[in-house]
A = this chain, B = another copy of it.
Amino acid sequence: MLLHDYFRSSAAFRVRIALNLKSVAYQRHDVMLLENQQRSPEHLALNPQGFVPALEVDGKVLTQSLAIIDWLDAKYPEPRLIPADPDARAAALARALVIAADTHPLNNLRVMRRLKAMGVDDDARDEWSRHWIAEGFAALEAMAGDGPLLGGDSPNVADIFLVPQMFNARRFGVALEAYPKLVRADAAAQAIEAFAAAHPDRVAP
């Protein structure tokens, strides 16, 4: 299993966490986003979106972090990352999707580059990022349960999406005091070695 990865990519970080939680052995290939290696013919042949992560396994290429995590849950059922019970599953997926659909895509590298090309300056781009992260986190805080993790006593897909977004939030200087449940869940998750070992600082080239 080969993960086409980038240390600071939020979506790739999620997949590293999931692989670690399931104790699945994998190799990493660094795709250097700042050098545009994701737009190389070789990478586009793996993933027409030109994104990381892409997971090569059994002669196939899987893309989209949530689809990859769902696939891992089918192939390596323990520990389960998306609950089996339909209601618990819907709640966990909804929380993950607040990040996956409505927070992270507004702040990734290609969007920042587009805004810059439109003449939006550094300060306004940072403010843009902080704004959308705050919107997502406010909703997620209201959706969170009693913890300690978003998954309750054990991490689930919502924690896997939260931790990389919290990493980004700190990079952009988002004030986190308004989200005590998220801060608690992030800390509880990062105390788990599977999360810690996936951290950008641990895999930076």
Contacts and interface: CB of A to CB of B under 8 A. Distances in A.
Interface of A: 48-51, 60, 62-64, 66-68, 70-71, 74-75, 86-87, 89-91, 93-94, 97-98, 100-102, 104-106, 110-111, 114, 118, 120, 124, 128, 131, 135, 138-139, 142-143
B71 A142 contact: no
A22 to B, nearest CB: 14
The main secondary structure of chain A at its interface with chain B is helix
The 7 closest A-B CB pairs, nearest first, are A48-B142, A67-B93, A74-B86, A64-B94, A71-B90, A49-B139, A64-B97
A67 B143 contact: no
A41 to B, nearest CB: 13
A116 B62 CA distance: 37
A139 B106 contact: no
